[in-house]
């Protein structure tokens, strides 16, 4: 920041003023304004980088927070009742990256699989499917945002001989809808789909 020109500093001030003004008019987007990150400001002076595997201790960059990252992973593993000492993960930069990695793993497990997701699923699902070159079926949603199980069954029947990669929502972006796993499982059983993966 020492070498900034007056014009550069002015642009930073303008951006800050613009964001402050927009904050006063923010309505209807799924974010919260109720946060305070000031406790973390002191860490901005360090080149922290969690590159690599948080469970691999011999990385070359030691300015990291892998120990805290592992705590977060352990917390969610316990929450999801993962088998003890039989899970892995890392903290992503957001839901888009998390969705991308889940679909990447699904593609590795079932290269010929078909991804099924509802039209209310997070926007990154379709983008990531395109990036990874996956086959997919977009399923209709009910008016309240939950997946349309009748349309899901019809789409499954079109590809019942291929592995099914299921995206089930637990709180959609705008309607907070939840897809019910039980009828999804019943449909998969009824249609005799043998290879099933729930990456999310």
Using the 3D structure, point to which of 91, 121, 155 is the last residue of a domain.
Answer: 91
- Our count of domains for the chain comes to 2
Residue 43 in domain: no
- CA 191 from chain centre, in angstroms, equals 28
SS3 4: coil
In this predicted model, what pLDDT tens digit does every residue of 54-64 receive, in sequence order? 998 767 788 99
CATH number at residue 166: 3.40.640.10
In this predicted model, what pLDDT tens digit does every residue of 26-66 receive, in sequence order? 876 777 788 899 999 999 999 999 988 999 876 778 899 99
Asked if residue 109 lies in contact with residue 196, where contact means CB atoms within 8 angstroms, the answer is no
Using the 3D structure, point to which of 59, 91, 123 is the last residue of a domain.
Answer: 91
Same domain membership, residue 130 and residue 72:
no
Residue 133 in domain: yes
Same domain membership, residue 102 and residue 185:
yes
Same domain membership, residue 102 and residue 154:
yes
- In the prediction, which pLDDT does 194 show? 78
User: What tokens were used for 170?
Assistant: 């637990």
Single pTM value for the model:
0.82
Same domain membership, residue 118 and residue 101:
yes
* Residue 178: domain span: 95-197
**Beta strands, E only, the chain:** 114-118, 135-139, 164-166, 196-197
Mean pLDDT of the chain: 91
In this predicted model, what pLDDT tens digit does every residue of 139-182 receive, in sequence order? 999 999 999 999 999 999 999 889 999 999 998 888 889 999 99
Using the 3D structure, point to which of 61, 91, 121 is the last residue of a domain.
Answer: 91
């Amino acid at each position: 920041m020492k070498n900034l020109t007056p014009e550069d500093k002015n642009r930073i001030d303008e951006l800050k003023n613009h964001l402050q003004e927009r904050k006063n008019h923010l309505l209807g987007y799924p974010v919260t304004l109720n946060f305070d990150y000031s406790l973390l400001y002191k860490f901005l002076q360090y080149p922290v980088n969690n590159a690599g595997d948080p469970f691999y201790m011999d990385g070359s960059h030691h300015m990291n927070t892998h120990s805290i990252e592992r705590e977060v992973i352990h917390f969610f593993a316990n929450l999801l009742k993962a088998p003890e000492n039989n899970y892995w993960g890392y903290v992503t930069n957001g839901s888009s990256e998390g969705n991308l990695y889940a679909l990447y793993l699904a593609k590795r497990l079932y290269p010929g699989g078909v991804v099924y997701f509802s039209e209310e699923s997070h926007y990154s699902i379709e983008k990531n499917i395109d990036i990874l070159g996956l086959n997919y079926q977009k399923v209709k949603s009910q008016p309240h945002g939950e997946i349309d199980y009748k349309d899901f069954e019809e789409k499954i029947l079109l590809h019942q001989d291929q592995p099914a990669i299921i995206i089930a929502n637990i709180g959609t972006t705008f309607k907070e809808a939840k897809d019910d796993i039980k009828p999804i499982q019943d449909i998969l059983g009824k249609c005799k789909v043998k290879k099933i993966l729930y990456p999310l």
